[in-house]
Each structure stands twice: as C-alpha cells, then as structure tokens.
C-alpha cells in the first residue's frame, strides 16, 4: 500500500544475456482510483502476462522465465507461462502449501552441496535439496541456502520449477540470475528518476 499511495508501481521485464542485464519493457500499474474513462483496470499479474505475450510476438526467444513469489504463487501466471511452453524458475514463500490426496505426505531429500558460480566467475558453496509433495510430478520444489543448519532468511530461497533433469548442480545458478535482474532494475530506476518520484503522470513515465 505504501508504494501505491506514495509512488509508482510498475511491472518490469528484464533480460539477462551473457551476464548482461538490460530492460526489455515496462507497464505501469494503475490503481482503480486513478483510472480515466478510457483506461481498463489490470492487475499486476495480468500486466506481466501481457508483457510475456508481447515479447514473444515481437520475436524474442525466451529460454527461461524468472519471477519473485508474487508471480510464482499465482496459478494464473504459472498456467499462462505453461501455455506458452516456457520454462520457469520462480520463488515461493517458505510456508507455501500444496494440496495432496489422502495418504500422501511431504518429504525432504538430503542436502546436496554445489558451487554457486557468479558473473565474475567466482564461486561459493551453497546447499540445495528437493521437497517432494506426495508423488513425483512435473513441477518440482526446492530449498537453496548458504547454511542448512540455520537457514538464514536473507540467504535462503524457496523455488519451484518445471525444468527437468538433474537440477542439483544447475538450479542454484539459474535462480541466482534474479539477483542481476534486481540489480539492473535499481540502476534503471535511478537513471530515470523514478526513485525520487520525479514524474507522477503515467503517460510521462511510460514515455521515459
């Protein structure tokens, strides 16, 4: 609510290619109270789906969709991404739940150590394990952390993905690309003056 009241809320798509992060497109979220007669209200989820559709129609070849838990826990978002036959690695909350048939249970595999490789080619040790809800399924769930004994909040991630294969060595690096997206987003906001909320007119912001 603070962002809606005091600033601008936007839905942004960034690309990562050869360790370069760059903005692709942006859509401004317009709360219902700010709409004009010609405007149509759309949620952030709907705006994000519009962005993906537009990028595909423009000829972009999307290898992997990354998103935070707001989108990662949206069945509407995941369903549409699947319809486009896109691979995804998305965040979920630590208390994310999955409906299970009677008699099935949740189990966690053993922690596996892997080397998280960063864009500067340096690496650090991380740990990953799969959380299995009932029977094995096409969508898998994972925990990634720097310390499995304490699970520090600022360095522990919960994700789900439709990627197949042995993900223990690759999933951590793939999800880590979101860090560069966030970093690039902050830089672009500063360049455009968004961090100061210099522009309050939607049309001006979209043009910039």
DSSP-based three-state secondary structure for 67: strand
Domain of residue 139, residue span: 2-207
Beta strand pairing call for 106-108 and 88-91: unpaired
DSSP-based three-state secondary structure for 133: strand
For 74, list phi and psi in degrees, rounded to 5.
Answer: -90, 115
Distance CA 74, CA 94 (A): 15
Averaged pLDDT, 15-39: 82
Q: What percent of the chain has pLDDT over 90?
A: 48
| pLDDT above 90: residue 2 | no
The number of distinct structural domains making up the chain is: 1
The model carries a pTM of: 0.84
pLDDT digits (tens, 9 = 90+) for 59-83: 999 999 999 999 999 999 999 999 9
**Chain centroid to CA 104: how far?**
29
Distance CA 117, CA 106 (A): 30
Cα distances (angstroms) measured from residue 35 to each of 41, 149, 200, 204: 7, 49, 14, 15
Q: Which run of H or of E encompasses 22?
A: strand 20-29
Are the C-beta atoms of 193 and 31 separated by less than 8 Å?
A: no
Distance CA 77, CA 48 (A): 8
Confidence label for 9 from pLDDT (cuts 50, 70 and 90): confident
pLDDT digits (tens, 9 = 90+) for 162-199: 999 889 989 999 998 887 777 777 777 666 665 555 55
Are the C-beta atoms of 81 and 89 separated by less than 8 Å?
A: no
């Amino acid at each position: 609510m603070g962002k809606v009241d005091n600033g601008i809320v936007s839905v942004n798509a960034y690309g990562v290619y050869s360790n370069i992060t760059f903005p692709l497109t942006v859509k401004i979220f317009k709360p219902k109270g700010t709409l004009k007669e010609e405007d149509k209200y759309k949620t952030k989820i709907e705006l994000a789906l519009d962005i993906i559709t537009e990028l595909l129609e423009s000829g972009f070849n999307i290898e992997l969709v990354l998103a935070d838990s707001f989108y990662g826990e949206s069945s509407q978002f995941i369903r549409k991404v699947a319809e486009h036959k896109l691979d995804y690695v998305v965040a979920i909350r630590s208390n994310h739940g999955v409906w299970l048939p009677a008699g099935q249970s949740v189990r966690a595999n053993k922690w596996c150590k892997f080397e998280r490789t960063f864009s500067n080619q340096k690496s650090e040790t991380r740990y990953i394990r799969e959380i299995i809800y009932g029977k094995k399924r096409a969508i898998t769930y994972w925990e990634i952390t720097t310390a499995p004994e304490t699970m520090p909040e600022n360095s522990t991630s919960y994700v789900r993905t439709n990627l197949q294969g042995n993900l223990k060595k690759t999933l951590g690096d793939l999800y880590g690309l979101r860090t560069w997206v966030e970093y690039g987003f902050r830089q672009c906001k500063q360049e455009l003056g968004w961090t100061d909320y210099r522009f309050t007119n939607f049309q001006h912001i979209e043009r910039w």
